[in-house]
Structure 1
Amino acid sequence: MHLKLKSKEQRHACFWLCYLFYFFAVNALGNGKLSLGVAAITVCYCALIFYAVYFTLHYFFRKGRLLMAVVLLTCFYVLSGILVYYVLYGSLGLQIINNTYTVSSSSFRWSRFIQTFIVMNSNYTIMAIGYYYYVEKLREFNEKLAAVEKQLEAESNMKDSQYTTLSAQVHPHMMANIFNHLKKKITPNDPGLASQIGEIYQLIRFYMDAQDVAGASKILLSDEIAALERYLSIQEQVEIDPFYIQLRCTGNLMRFGIAPTTLQTLAGNLFKHADIWDREHPASIDIVVGHRGYMIHVKNRKRPGRQTMPSHGVGLRNVRKRMEYLFAEDFSMSEIQDEQSYELTLRVEIVKN
């Protein structure tokens, strides 16, 4: 039967318990009057020194707060010295411990007191420092190992993505030839439809560039908005009933970037789940660019009755992941909804150190 200690607390408790019996056995060889209770009190004091030093190093020294670490350790050693004095020579009723374990007489001598204090504190201080550096080295090793694993995973995913993209890629020239041929055939009879075919080709090119692994991962807000307007204009010809989506933009759209097809994903969700056919309550996409970043706010009424298309949240999860990849902690995304309405807010605020 194997005893498995899963948590760090269990391993520490087991160590100090084993150390208690070791401490008792070693010191009982030279002092037959030593009891297990006295040994337990002494080991608890040793553990107090160990954890006081370790946690001071962990929470202050590791973060560069050297002065605070020195002040705390100084205060601890002063209190520890006072405790040792009163246990050995004070009137706390612990002379029985002194007479049976620590000292042979209760007369105070600085040399004996300093010797006892240094022995009790230095050993476990050194032990705590050694354990702290062991934990730090282990943490650094685990972080490097995790970084290597993530890099290998990213490289593997990149190869898979490249293969998938290349295998599914349609050459733009072939697409251009097909659409140009259709435009020439249709233009004499239906110029509006021919223009729509040209817009569809431009939108397909935009999607192909966005999905190209070797392409840009970030484009200007102005380019993304132009693609969204092209998408909405095509949908106006596709949808049987007129829809109402207000697109409002303020600020300098040339200042900041965005992940390609982000706005198309948000607009696509409106066509799937929103009530966009009510003229009195149109859906809205507001893009506000400020000094440090921009905000995208989508607001709509929910489609009444049963949803015609199920919502799996895949599109929004992809948007969040791509934007977090580009902007990390500078990006945030929040949702507010009730039974009748839904709001989505994306914020990019560049914080410079």
Structure 2
Amino acid sequence: MTLGASLITVFYCATIFYVVYLILKYVYDRGHILGTIVLMIGFYVLSGLMVYYQLYGKFGLEIINNKYVIVHHAFNWAKYAQTFLVMHSNYSVMAVGYYYYKSKLRESSDKLEAVNARLAAESSMKTFQYTTLSAQVHPHMMANIFSHLKNKVDPYDIELGKQLSELYRLMKFYMEAHHVEGATHILLADEVTALKQYLSIQEKVEPNPFYIKLSCSGNLMRFSIAPTVMQTLAGNLFKHADLWDKNHPAKIDILAGHAGYRITVKNKKRSGPQMMPSHDVGLRNVRIRMEYLFGTDFSMEENQDDDHYELTLCVQRYK
């Protein structure tokens, strides 16, 4: 066999190895078994034709026999099959073995990455937990102070004692909602209860009466929400809405249906320069937290003109 024939043979054997391996990697790996079978059969048929041409074609005989062409070279099935199997079996088996070796290596690498990611997450969780617990020293102390003041005030001013009690419960709700190991979901009904406490406290704090109409319909016990979302939406009303027009109150509508719920906030914009600038931090956090909990089941839309603003949050479990 000439040097040229040897180079062609090595190149062709490498082609067999890599074609089989690539079919397994990019087709079989994705679960396309029928596609793998079709491609394998197609490749072996094409390769078989090339083997036939090399054995019985003039160009192939010239390469192998160094231009000494055998006249009337009859076709022989046994010789053809033997040559075909010798050229394909070893390199196909090697390609299959290499594929499984790479698969196991990739699987081990993925497991190692998963372990490292879990260790990193646990380390971050401990850091966040420490930070959160440290940050709660001050609110916890304040909650104890409110409780102490309530006990002192109750005998002299029952209404003020109730207000202090509402402050204590609301502060406790916030502390539990922002605890690292706390619940990520709470019942929509509990969130509405906390919102009512928040509005009740604001009625005592605000110097002028404000008008926010809260309406709920449907079974709020069937669905969950991220804690403090409603308080964030109400807080934005106190920052940016005109809440002092009795004829045009701000509205918070909560509608629970069969497969989800919708929260709509409508308000008249405050005229003149804004007292507090908007950085969209609160609404951005609401979006991120709700998308984290509900994924594509959650949507959030804003609509506004020069005088009015509308925000709609929707959680729909079955689309």
Q: TM-score range by the shorter chain?
A: 0.7 to 0.9
Number of the residue aligned with 1:55: 26
* Alpha-carbon distance, 1:101 to partner: 4.9
**Mapped pair 1:264 → 2:235:** no
Q: How far, CA to CA, are the matches of 1:123 and 1:309 in structure 2? A: 76
Q: Kindly tell me: are residues 314 and 83 of structure 1, through their superposed partners in 2, closer, same or farther at Cα, counting changes over 3 Å?
A: same
Higher RCO (CA 8 Å, separation ≥ 6 residues): 2
Q: Displacement, 1:228?
A: 0.3
Task: Give the direction of change, closer, same or farther, for the CA distance of 1:99–1:196 in structure 2 (3 Å limit).
Answer: same
- State the 1:151 CA deviation: 3.0
The match for 2:62 is: 99
Q: Which residue of 2 aligns with 1:153?
A: 120
Partner secondary structure for residue 130 of structure 2? helix
Q: CA RMSD in A?
A: 3.9
Pairing partner for 2:37 from 58, 69, 74: 74
* TM superposition score normalised by structure 2: 0.75
Q: Which moved more, 1:167-176 or 1:249-258?
A: 167-176
- Who is 1:110 aligned against? 77
Alpha-carbon distance in 1 for matches of 2:65, 2:265: 75
**In structure 2, do the counterparts of structure 1 residues 342 and 294 end up closer, same or farther at CA, with 3 Å as the change threshold?**
closer
> Is residue 209 from structure 1 mapped to residue 176 from structure 2 by the alignment?
yes
- Report sequence identity in percent: 43
Cα 1:273–1:155, aligned 2, differ >3 Å: closer, same or farther?
A: farther
* Correspondence 1:111-130 to 2 at 5 A: 111-130=78-97
Q: TM (normalized to structure 1)?
A: 0.69
Quick check: 1:46–1:120 contact (8 Å CA) kept in 2?
A: no
> What does the per-residue CA deviation read over 1:257-310, in whole Å, with 9 as the maximum and x for residues that have no partner?
333212112222333344545556554333232334433344455556665434
Aligned to 1:179: 150
State the Cα deviation string for residues 198-227 of structure 1 (Å, max 9, x = none): 322322222223234454443322111011
2:219 and 2:115 map into 1 onto residues whose CA distance is: 40
1:249 Cα offset (Å): 1.7
5+ long unaligned stretches in structure 1: 1-29, 61-67
Q: CA deviation at 1:58?
A: 1.1
> How many angstroms apart in 1 are the aligned matches of 2:23 and 2:315?
43
8 Å CA contact retained: 2:300, 2:313? yes
Pair 1:336–1:165, CA change in 2 (3 A): closer
What's the secondary structure of 2:29's corresponding residue? helix
Corresponding pairs, count: 308
Q: Distance in 1 between matches of 2:238 and 2:249?
A: 12
Distance in 2 between residues matched to 1:274 and 1:346, nearest whole Å: 22
SS at match of 2:219: coil
The aligned amino acid for 1:72 is G
The one-letter amino acid of 1:210's match is A
Which of 270, 286, 292 is the aligned partner of 2:253?
A: 286
The answer for the alignment partner of 1:31 in structure 2 is 2
Give the AA of the match of 1:78: I
